[in-house]
Amino acid sequence: MKNIPHDSASKHVTGQSVYIDDMPVNSRLLTGRVVYSRHAHAKIKSPDLTKAKQLPGVHAVLCYQDIPGHNQMGPVIHDEVCLAIKEVHCVGQAIVLIAAENEEIAIEAEKLVVIEYEPLEAVLELRRAIEKNTLLAPARTMNRGDAETAMKNSFHTIRGELETGAQEHWYLETQSCLCIPGEHQEINVFSSTQHPSETQAIVAEVLGIAKNEVVVETRRMGGAFGGKETQANHAAAWTALLCHATKRPVKIRLSRDDDQKITGKRHRFLIRYEARFNEDGKLLAVKFELNADAGYTTDLSMAILERAMLHADNAYFIPDMSVTGKAYRTNLPSNTAFRGFGGPQGMAGMETVIDRIARFLKKDPAEIRKLNFYGTEKENITHYGQEVELNRLHLLYDQLMETSDYAKRKKEVELFNSKNEFYKKGMAITPVKFGISFTTSFLNQAGALVNIYKDGTVLVNHGGTEMGQGLNTKIRQIAAAELGVTIDKIKVNATNTSKVPNTSATAASAGTDLNGMAVKDAIEKLKSRIGKQLAAEFSKIRPEKPTTVDHLIFQNNTIIDSLYPDRKIAFDEAMVICHLNQISLSATGFYKTPDIGWDKLKGWGKPFNYYSFGMSVSEVLVDTLTGSHKNLRTDILHDVGDSINPGIDLGQVEGGFIQGMGWCTTEEIKWDEKGNLLNHSPDTYKIPSVQDIPADFRVNLLQNVPNPNAIRKSKAVAEPPLMLAFSTWLAIKDAISAVGNHQHEPFFQLPATNEVILLSIEDIRKKIKGN
Amino acid sequence: MRERMKKVKSVQYPQHEISFILNGKKVSCKTKGSAVLLDVIRDVFELKGTKPGCHEGECGACTVLVDNVPVNSCLFLAVNADGKNILTVEGLLHADGTLDPVQESLVQNGAVQCGFCSSGMAMSLKALVHQYENAHPVAGEIKKGIPSRDEIKKHLEGNLCRCTGYVKILDAAEKLFLNNE
Ligand code: FES
Ligand code: FES
Q: pLDDT tens digit string along A544-574?
A: 999 999 999 999 999 999 999 999 999 999 9
Pick the CATH number of A445-592 from 2.40.160.50, 3.30.365.10, 3.30.420.10, 3.40.50.10700: 3.30.365.10
pLDDT at site A148: 76
Q: Is the CB of B167 under 6 A from ligand 2?
A: no
Nearest to B53 among A10, A172, A697 (CB): A172
Pick the CATH number of A29-121+175-253 from 3.40.1260.20, 3.30.1490.20, 3.90.1170.50, 3.30.160.270: 3.90.1170.50
pLDDT at site B9: 45
Q: Secondary structure of A110-138 in the HEC alphabet? A: HHHCEEEEEECCCCCCHHHHHHHCCECCC
Q: Which whole number is the average pLDDT over A58-75?
A: 97
Whether A690 sits inside 8 A of B112 (CB atoms) is no
Within 696-735 of A, beta carbons closer than 8 Å to B belong to: 697, 699
Mean pLDDT, chain A, integer: 96
C-beta separation of A490 from A474 below 8 A: no
Of all protein residues, the one whose alpha carbon is nearest to atom 4 of ligand 2 is B161
pLDDT at site B137: 62
Pocket residue to mutate for ligand 2, from B107, B124, B163, B169, most atoms within 8 A of Cβ: B163
Domain at B166, CATH number = 3.10.20.30
B5 domain-assigned? no
The conformation of residue A498, written as its DSSP 8-state character, comes to T
**Cα–chain-centroid distance for residue A477?**
23
- For B63, the closest chain A residue by CA position comes to A15
Please report, for residues A35, A48, A308, A386, the alpha-carbon distance to residue A120 in angstroms, rounded to integers and kept in the order given. Answer: 20, 21, 32, 46
Q: Which helix (H) or strand (E) holds A628?
A: none
pLDDT score of A333 more than 60: yes
Range of the domain at B144: 15-180
Nearest to B164 among A16, A654, A691 (CB): A654
C-beta separation of B154 from B133 below 8 A: no
B8 domain-assigned? no
pLDDT at site A296: 98
pLDDT score of A536 more than 50: yes
pLDDT at site B2: 39
Q: Is the CB of B161 under 6 A from ligand 2?
A: yes
Q: Which whole number is the average pLDDT over A153-174?
A: 94
pLDDT score of A511 more than 80: yes
Q: Which whole number is the average pLDDT over A525-537?
A: 97
Residue B173, min C-alpha distance to chain A (Å): 13
* CATH 1.10.3720.10 is right for the domain spanning A269-439+600-770: no
**Mutation target among A648, A690, A699, A701 for the B interface, most CBs of B within 10 A:** A690
- Write the pLDDT tens digit of every residue in A165-195: 999 999 999 999 999 999 999 999 999 999 9
Assign A520 a pLDDT band (cuts: 50, 70, 90).
very high
pLDDT at site B180: 64
C-beta separation of B113 from A469 below 8 A: yes
C-beta separation of A34 from A231 below 8 A: no
B7 domain-assigned? no
Confirm whether A269-439+600-770 and A445-592 share one CATH topology: yes
pLDDT score of A153 more than 80: no
- For A696, the closest chain B residue by CA position comes to B167
- Write the pLDDT tens digit of every residue in A258-297: 999 999 999 999 999 999 999 999 999 999 999 999 999 9
pLDDT at site B179: 73
B3 domain-assigned? no
Whether A691 sits inside 8 A of B153 (CB atoms) is yes
pLDDT at site B3: 40
DSSP, collapsed to helix, strand or coil, labels residue A280 as coil
Chain B interface includes A56 (CB < 8 A):
yes
Count of residues making up chain B: 181
pLDDT at site A271: 98
**A382 Rama sector, left if φ>0, alpha if ψ -120 to 50, beta otherwise:** beta
Nearest to A13 among B7, B58, B103 (CB): B103
Chain B interface includes A172 (CB < 8 A):
yes
pLDDT at site B139: 65
Q: Which whole number is the average pLDDT over A703-723?
A: 95
Amino acid A704 reads N
DSSP, collapsed to helix, strand or coil, labels residue A242 as helix
pLDDT score of A357 more than 90: yes
Residue A204 Cα to ligand 2 middle (Å): 32
The single residue of A198, A289, A619, A719 carrying the catalytic annotation is: A719
Count of residues making up chain A: 771
Chain A residues with CB under 8 Å of B92 CB are: 14
pLDDT score of A34 more than 70: yes
Q: β-strands B15-22, B85-87: how paired?
A: parallel
How many helices, marked H, and strands, marked E, lie in chain A? 19, 29
The conformation of residue B41, written as its DSSP 8-state character, comes to I
pLDDT at site B4: 41
C-beta separation of B23 from B90 below 8 A: yes
pLDDT at site A463: 97
Whether B162 sits inside 8 A of A101 (CB atoms) is no
DSSP, collapsed to helix, strand or coil, labels residue A744 as coil
**A456 Rama sector, left if φ>0, alpha if ψ -120 to 50, beta otherwise:** left
Whether A3 sits inside 8 A of B110 (CB atoms) is yes
B9 exposed, middle or buried (CB, 10 Å; 0-12, 13-18, 19+)?
A: exposed
Nearest one of A19, A65, A74 to A44, comparing CA atoms: A65
Q: Is the CB of A470 under 6 A from ligand 2?
A: no
Nearest one of A500, A514, A513, A497 to A449, comparing CA atoms: A500
Q: Where are the beta strands (DSSP E) in A209-368?
A: 214-218, 250-253, 269-277, 283-295, 320-329
* H helical segments located in A599-721: 646-664
Q: Which helix (H) or strand (E) holds A410?
A: helix A406-419
**Entry pTM:** 0.96
ipTM score: 0.96
DSSP, collapsed to helix, strand or coil, labels residue A555 as strand
Our count of domains for chain B comes to: 1
Chain A residues with CB under 8 Å of B170 CB are: 690
- Write the pLDDT tens digit of every residue in A108-148: 999 999 999 999 999 999 999 999 999 999 999 999 988 77
**Cα–chain-centroid distance for residue A182?**
33
B53 exposed, middle or buried (CB, 10 Å; 0-12, 13-18, 19+)?
A: buried
pLDDT at site A46: 82
∠ at Cα A253 (A249, A258), nearest 5°? 140
Whole-angstrom Cα distance, residue B173 to residue B152? 7
pLDDT at site B1: 36
C-beta separation of B121 from B111 below 8 A: yes
Percent of all residues in chain A with a pLDDT value above 70, rounded to a whole number: 99
Q: Is the CB of B61 under 6 A from ligand 1?
A: yes
Q: Which residues of chain B have pLDDT under 70?
A: 1-13, 135-140, 180-181
Q: Is the CB of B72 under 6 A from ligand 1?
A: yes
Q: Where are the beta strands (DSSP E) in B23-127?
A: 25-32, 63-66, 69-72, 85-87
- For A466, the closest chain B residue by CA position comes to B114
Residue B43, min C-alpha distance to chain A (Å): 10
**Domain spans, chain A:** 29-121+175-253, 269-439+600-770, 445-592
Q: Is the CB of B37 under 6 A from ligand 1?
A: no
pLDDT score of A635 more than 90: yes
Known catalytic membership, residue A118: no
Of all protein residues, the one whose alpha carbon is nearest to atom 2 of ligand 2 is B114
Nearest one of B65, B35, B33 to B49, comparing CA atoms: B65
Residue A324, min C-alpha distance to chain B (Å): 33
Q: Is the CB of B54 under 6 A from ligand 1?
A: yes
pLDDT at site A290: 98
Assign A334 a pLDDT band (cuts: 50, 70, 90).
very high
Q: Which helix (H) or strand (E) holds A198?
A: helix A196-207
**Mutation target among B162, B169, B171, B175 for the A interface, most CBs of A within 10 A:** B162
Whole-angstrom Cα distance, residue A511 to residue A435? 14
